[in-house]
Structure 1
Amino acid sequence: MQSETKASTVGIVTRKRAIWLIAIVVIYFVLINLPTPNGLSLVGQKALALMLIVVITWVTGIIPIGIASLLFVFLQSVIGIADVGTAVGNFANPTLLFVLSSFFLAIALDVSGLNNRISLKLTVLSGGSPKKALFYLMAATAVLSMVISDVPACAAFYSIGLALLRKNNCKVGSSNLGKAMMIGIPVASLIGGAATPAGSSLNVLALSLMKSTANIDITFLQWAAIGIPIVIIALPLTWKIMTFVFPPELERLIGIEDIQKDYQALGHISAKEIKFIVIFALLLITWFTESIHKIPLPASATFGAVLFFLPGIDLLSWENTKHRIGWDIILLIGAASSLGTAFWKSGAATWMANGALSWTQGVSLVVVVLVVVIFTTLIHLLLPVNPAIISIMVPALVGYAATIGMGSPLALVIPMAQAVHSAFLLPLDSVPLITYASGYYTMVDFFKSGWIISILWCIVITAVIMVIAPAIGLF
Structure 2
Amino acid sequence: MADDKALSMNKNEINKKIFVLVILFSLSTLGLLAAPVLGLEVLQQRTIILLVISIILWTTRVIPTGISALLIIALQMTLGIAPQFSDAVQGFASSTIYFLLAASLVSSAMTKVHLDKFLSKVLMKASRGSVQKTLWGFFLANLALPIIMPSGNVRLRMFIPLIEEVNQRFHLGTNSPFLRFSIWMIGGLNQIGTIIVFTGGGLGILAAGLLIELGYPLTWIQWFLMMAPPIWIICTITAFFMWRYLKAYKIENKQLKAAEESSLGIDTAIKFPFMVVIAGLFLMLFLWMVGPLWNIPSIIPPLICLALFAMPGIELLDNHDLRNYDWENFLLLGSAISLAITIQQNGTASIIANSIFSILGQSSYEGFNFFILVIVVFLLRAMFVSPVGALTVIFPLAIAFAETVGLNNLFTFLTITILVASFIILPIHSPIMILAYETGYIVFKEHLVISLVLLITSIVIVFFCYEWYWPLFQ
Same fold (TM over 0.5): yes
Q: 1:134 to 1:328 in 2, by over 3 A?
A: farther
Residue number in structure 2 paired with 1:159: 161
Residue number in structure 2 paired with 1:438: 439
Residue number in structure 2 paired with 1:329: 329
Residue number in structure 2 paired with 1:244: 244
- Alignment root-mean-square deviation, CA: 2.7
Residue number in structure 1 paired with 2:91: 90
Residue number in structure 2 paired with 1:347: 347
Aligned residue type for 2:50:
L
User: Quick check: 197-206 or 273-282, which moved more?
Assistant: 197-206
List aligned pairs for 1:115-264, cutoff 5 A.
115-146=116-147, 147-168=149-170, 174-212=175-213, 214-248=214-248, 250-253=251-254, 257=258, 260-262=261-263
- Looking at structure 2, the residues matched to 276 and 306 of structure 1 have their Cα atoms a distance apart, in angstroms, of 12
1:227-250 Cα shifts (integer Å, max 9, x gaps):
111233223222211111101363
User: Quick check: 240-249 or 268-277, which moved more?
Assistant: 268-277
Aligned residue type for 2:25:
V
Residue number in structure 1 paired with 2:17: 17
Aligned residue type for 2:139:
M
- Looking at structure 1, the residues matched to 34 and 74 of structure 2 have their Cα atoms a distance apart, in angstroms, of 24
Residue number in structure 2 paired with 1:77: 77
Local SS of the residue matching 2:333? helix
User: Quick check: 241-250 or 425-434, which moved more?
Assistant: 241-250
Q: 1:377 to 1:404 in 2, by over 3 A?
A: closer
- Looking at structure 1, the residues matched to 256 and 18 of structure 2 have their Cα atoms a distance apart, in angstroms, of 51
Aligned residue type for 1:443:
F
Q: 1:312 to 1:51 in 2, by over 3 A?
A: same
List aligned pairs for 1:317-466, cutoff 5 A.
317-319=318-320, 321-358=321-358, 359-364=361-366, 366-373=367-374, 375-377=376-378, 379-404=380-405, 409-428=409-428, 429-466=430-467
The answer to whether the 8 Å contact 2:65/2:328 transfers is: yes
Local SS of the residue matching 2:206? helix
Local SS of the residue matching 1:421? helix
Residue number in structure 1 paired with 2:57: 57
Aligned residue type for 1:189:
N
Identity %: 22
The answer to whether the 8 Å contact 1:120/1:260 transfers is: no
Aligned residue type for 2:55:
V
Local SS of the residue matching 1:297? coil
Q: 1:377 to 1:399 in 2, by over 3 A?
A: closer
- Looking at structure 1, the residues matched to 123 and 289 of structure 2 have their Cα atoms a distance apart, in angstroms, of 27
Aligned residue type for 2:109:
A
Local SS of the residue matching 2:270? coil
Residue number in structure 1 paired with 2:293: 292
The answer to whether the 8 Å contact 1:142/1:191 transfers is: no
- Looking at structure 2, the residues matched to 144 and 298 of structure 1 have their Cα atoms a distance apart, in angstroms, of 20
- Looking at structure 1, the residues matched to 260 and 40 of structure 2 have their Cα atoms a distance apart, in angstroms, of 62
Corresponding pairs, count: 468
Give the deviation of 1:116 after TM superposition: 0.8
Query: Unaligned regions of 5+ residues in structure 2, if any?
Result: none
Q: 1:282 to 1:433 in 2, by over 3 A?
A: same
Give the deviation of 1:65 after TM superposition: 1.0
- Looking at structure 1, the residues matched to 376 and 254 of structure 2 have their Cα atoms a distance apart, in angstroms, of 40
The answer to whether the 8 Å contact 2:58/2:384 transfers is: no
Aligned residue type for 2:206:
L
List aligned pairs for 1:89-108, cutoff 5 A.
89-108=90-109
Q: 1:217 to 1:6 in 2, by over 3 A?
A: same
The answer to whether the 8 Å contact 1:210/1:216 transfers is: yes
- Looking at structure 1, the residues matched to 21 and 349 of structure 2 have their Cα atoms a distance apart, in angstroms, of 25
User: Quick check: 218-227 or 32-41, which moved more?
Assistant: 32-41
Local SS of the residue matching 2:442? coil
- Looking at structure 1, the residues matched to 144 and 32 of structure 2 have their Cα atoms a distance apart, in angstroms, of 46
- Looking at structure 1, the residues matched to 38 and 220 of structure 2 have their Cα atoms a distance apart, in angstroms, of 40
Q: 1:257 to 1:439 in 2, by over 3 A?
A: farther
Local SS of the residue matching 1:441? coil
> Is 1:283 the counterpart of 2:261 in the alignment?
no
1:34-77 Cα shifts (integer Å, max 9, x gaps):
66454532211111111112111111111111221122122211
- Looking at structure 2, the residues matched to 254 and 67 of structure 1 have their Cα atoms a distance apart, in angstroms, of 53
1:386-439 Cα shifts (integer Å, max 9, x gaps):
233222221112323333455x52121121122211133221110111111111
- Looking at structure 2, the residues matched to 269 and 370 of structure 1 have their Cα atoms a distance apart, in angstroms, of 51
The answer to whether the 8 Å contact 2:110/2:116 transfers is: yes
Q: 1:13 to 1:315 in 2, by over 3 A?
A: same
The answer to whether the 8 Å contact 1:210/1:394 transfers is: no
- Looking at structure 1, the residues matched to 241 and 94 of structure 2 have their Cα atoms a distance apart, in angstroms, of 40
The answer to whether the 8 Å contact 1:69/1:331 transfers is: yes
Residue number in structure 2 paired with 1:472: 473
- Looking at structure 2, the residues matched to 70 and 455 of structure 1 have their Cα atoms a distance apart, in angstroms, of 37
- Looking at structure 2, the residues matched to 223 and 259 of structure 1 have their Cα atoms a distance apart, in angstroms, of 41
- Looking at structure 2, the residues matched to 36 and 117 of structure 1 have their Cα atoms a distance apart, in angstroms, of 61
Q: 1:370 to 1:309 in 2, by over 3 A?
A: farther
1:274-300 Cα shifts (integer Å, max 9, x gaps):
211111111111112232122222233
- Looking at structure 2, the residues matched to 55 and 256 of structure 1 have their Cα atoms a distance apart, in angstroms, of 54
The answer to whether the 8 Å contact 1:65/1:332 transfers is: yes
- Looking at structure 2, the residues matched to 39 and 412 of structure 1 have their Cα atoms a distance apart, in angstroms, of 28
The answer to whether the 8 Å contact 1:336/1:387 transfers is: no
- Looking at structure 2, the residues matched to 72 and 143 of structure 1 have their Cα atoms a distance apart, in angstroms, of 38
Give the deviation of 1:33 after TM superposition: 6.2
Q: 1:196 to 1:258 in 2, by over 3 A?
A: same
Aligned residue type for 1:315:
L
The answer to whether the 8 Å contact 1:101/1:305 transfers is: yes
Aligned residue type for 1:313:
I
Query: Unaligned regions of 5+ residues in structure 1, if any?
Result: none
Give the deviation of 1:176 after TM superposition: 2.8
Give the deviation of 1:200 after TM superposition: 2.5
Local SS of the residue matching 1:360? coil
The answer to whether the 8 Å contact 2:118/2:266 transfers is: no
